[in-house]
Structure 1
Amino acid sequence: MREDDYTLKAIQPGLRHGQQSGKLVVEGELSVALPGSVRGEFTVQIRYPGTSPFQLPDVYDVDGRFDRAAENHVEATGRFCMWLPLTAPVADFQRPGGLARYLDLVCEFVRLQVMYEERRMRGVEPHWPWTDWEHGGAGYEQWFRENSVGLVPDQLEKLIEAVGAHPRRAAKCPCGSGKKLGNCHKKWLATVRRSVRDDPTVLTAGYVYLNSWRESVRRRST
């Protein structure tokens, strides 16, 4: 906490630590460098899921600066859609200096949002010219698709089934490659397990993608 307070004073003096409903928050004015060599101030609240500064928080638009709609990457609650649970930078945030890196990501998100709204207002296509993820289940299915390269459907099914198990480190990877888990899909499984704890529908999306993949394979073979 002392290190985080030092970080806030050094790079974002408009933000301060506090508590809300017994949970840790960082709130205040976020200063963001915008296109045109100007700075903007945005009222945000960074909410932690508990009292530990090592848990990855979410960021909320407090004063309604951005339109609250899924296509605008801001939920109805004001929460910024910065990433899927499957792509959240948990490990990076928990390393020394994690809060500073996290705030850099928040500033980059806000900067992109400002540019997105400007492009949309001016009719410049595409409005959001950077790579992003689909929302909800569609985004989870996209993650499974992009992270199943080199597998066949049966291997993916074995990996999904292994999410609920915790094999020994020296065990063979459940994908059936013959490699030890630590040299194969250990990180893949850890990512999905962590994400399922945040949102159980992640696993449902994995099976939805698996079934659609099998159906596409069946169609190609007939």
Structure 2
Amino acid sequence: MSYGLSYEVKQILDSQPRLIMVENDIEWIIQGVYKYSLDYDGHIAQGERNIKLIVQKNFPNSIPKFYVSDYPEHIEHIYQDGNVCLATIGEMIYFLNENPSLIAFIKKFVNAFIYTLDWFEKYNTYPFGDRKHGYKGLLDYYLNDLKLTKDQYKKMVIMIYEDKYRGHIPCLCGSGKKLRDCHGKYMLPIIKNASYKNEFITEAYMILTKDGKNVSRKSSE
């Protein structure tokens, strides 16, 4: 464990006395009761959740896995085993490349999901708008946030899969900029990291084969 990650884990455990950490050769497992008080636009969610966060020892070169128990049967974005679909692989990779911090990851993705879960239990709606489920929800990030068409997303996937990234070529989005000055900032962290690349390609397979069943507990197109 690097000093920075070790310090962050200690901070988490110090601030959450009902969490424990179990270590093995490849990962740290942080689990137990997570106490939260989260404020979004003046709306406060408070409570406790039984959670598990699995952090690979090569973090931030791999994406943590988050599990939660005791959730509503009909809420989406949770796998059968309780593993939460926090966001798209591409979004989390880009975030970790810019913010290689476990605490920042928890604040950005874990706390946002816990707030969503709390809100959903109370109001049976989603506080930030309900992103689409299954492969459509995953694809939306690339279409809306990265401003790509589906065909451009396919080109992005092929370029990453076949290691054909070249920073000097025109960007696949048609902006007229060089790839390195445009969408290359999203692609390069994936290409340079075998773990990221594997997760990205796995997600791309689900998206391009419309395999929504692997992404949400109740698949819907």
- Of 196-205 and 79-88, deviating more is 196-205
Partners of 1:32 and 1:107 lie apart in 2 by 8
Task: Map Cα deviations across residues 33-53 of structure 1 (whole Å, 9 max, x no partner).
Answer: 1689784221211012x3324
Question: Taking structure 1 as reference, are residues 31 and 92 closer, same or farther at Cα in structure 2, changes over 3 Å only?
Answer: farther
In structure 1, the residue matched to 2:107 is 104
Question: Taking structure 1 as reference, are residues 2 and 66 closer, same or farther at Cα in structure 2, changes over 3 Å only?
Answer: same
Opposite residue 58 of structure 1, the aligned amino acid is K
In structure 2, the residue matched to 1:146 is 144
Alignment equivalent of 2:57, drawn from 42, 51, 57: 51
> Which of the two has higher C-alpha Rg?
1
Partners of 1:156 and 1:56 lie apart in 2 by 21
User: Is 1:160–1:206's contact at 8 Å kept on the other side of the alignment?
Assistant: no
In structure 2, the residue matched to 1:219 is none
Task: Map Cα deviations across residues 72-98 of structure 1 (whole Å, 9 max, x no partner).
Answer: 33221111222121222322451xxx2
Taking structure 2 as the reference length, the TM-score comes to: 0.68
RMSD: 3.5
Partners of 1:76 and 1:156 lie apart in 2 by 28
Question: Taking structure 1 as reference, are residues 3 and 168 closer, same or farther at Cα in structure 2, changes over 3 Å only?
Answer: same
Partners of 1:108 and 1:178 lie apart in 2 by 36
User: Is 2:142–2:148's contact at 8 Å kept on the other side of the alignment?
Assistant: no
- Of 192-201 and 108-117, deviating more is 192-201
- Of 8-17 and 52-61, deviating more is 8-17
In structure 2, the residue matched to 1:65 is 70
* 1:175-214 mapped onto 2 (5 Å cutoff): 178-190=176-188, 197-204=198-205
TM-aligned CA deviation for residue 21 of structure 1: 7.5
In structure 1, the residue matched to 2:158 is 161
Q: Any idea what SS the aligned residue of 2:87 has?
A: coil
Matched, 1:12 2:25: no
Question: Taking structure 1 as reference, are residues 19 and 86 closer, same or farther at Cα in structure 2, changes over 3 Å only?
Answer: same
In structure 1, the residue matched to 2:213 is none
User: Is 2:35–2:48's contact at 8 Å kept on the other side of the alignment?
Assistant: yes
TM-aligned CA deviation for residue 186 of structure 1: 0.5
Partners of 2:169 and 2:45 lie apart in 1 by 55
TM-aligned CA deviation for residue 113 of structure 1: 0.8
TM-aligned CA deviation for residue 5 of structure 1: 3.1
Question: Taking structure 1 as reference, are residues 16 and 166 closer, same or farther at Cα in structure 2, changes over 3 Å only?
Answer: farther
Opposite residue 67 of structure 1, the aligned amino acid is P
Which structure carries more relative contact order (alpha carbon 8 Å, separation 6+)? 2
TM-aligned CA deviation for residue 201 of structure 1: 4.8
Opposite residue 117 of structure 1, the aligned amino acid is E
* 1:109-128 mapped onto 2 (5 Å cutoff): 109-120=113-124, 127-128=125-126
Alignment equivalent of 1:135, drawn from 127, 133, 136: 133
